[in-house]
Amino acid sequence: MEKRSVIVFILSFIVLATAGIVYLFIPKGANAPFLVPQPMPNAQIPKDWKTYENTKYHYSFRYPKEYKIWQFVGVGSFSEITNDADTVLVGKKIVNEILFNISGTNFPSLDEEAIKRQFVGVTPPEDIKIILTYIANQPAYRLAFKRDTEFIPSNFYFVRNLNGQIFQITIDLTNSVANQIFSSLKFTK
């Protein structure tokens, strides 16, 4: 039971820390320029890319051979993947080049209120909008955060796999490689 509490704490910390970082990088002020990047669902995947398969959580994705797959092993600590991990990150260097992150969540259900509760203390619920979308042919939610009077879509996604497990996906939508990784995501049973 204590191990599960630590895992829940760590996953909550990751969600809140990521939300804080996103908030810091959202331009402020009425005249601030803001690009709204969109995922590319039909991106072409090069044939020489590797495949990462997580048999514990039933998903796979493709990634460039020069990139590494990392796992979260403790607060501020990461290592290269050696098995099926709860949090999987793709990048060249862990500190400054993470392009794609998929993490299991402790959500009891995949609904707007459960998602908004994860951001309590970081963003007021009225400043979060949930957008229905699809990831790997599964219904998913994308978060949008209020900026001035409009909602700007973010790089946060929440999706349920074919076995009912709920994941948070964070992606660098300004990077074409990240979009290719994202578009290659598949869920299996």
3-state secondary structure the chain: CHHHHHHHHHHHHHHHHHHHHHHHHCCCCCCCCCCCCCCCCCCCCCCCCEEEEECCCCEEEEECCCCEEEEEEECCEEEECCCCCCEEEEECCCCCCEEEEEEECCCCCCCHHHHHHCCCCCCCHHHEEEEEEEECCEEEEEEEEEECCEEEEEEEEEEECCCCCEEEEEECCCCHHHHHHHHCCEECC
Which pLDDT value is given to residue 113? 83
Q: Which of 132, 129, 135 is CA-nearest to residue 40? A: 135
* CATH fit for domain 2-28+42-187, picks 2.60.120, 3.40.1000, 3.30.500, 3.30.70: 3.40.1000
47-52-57 Cα angle (round to 5): 140
Which pLDDT value is given to residue 43? 66
Going from N- to C-terminal start, the domains of the chain cover 2-28+42-187
Which pLDDT value is given to residue 123? 85
Which pLDDT value is given to residue 169? 92
Which pLDDT value is given to residue 86? 83
Q: Kindly give the parts of the chain with pLDDT less than 50.
A: 8, 17, 20-37
Q: Bridge-partner residues for 146, per DSSP?
A: 151
Which pLDDT value is given to residue 40? 57
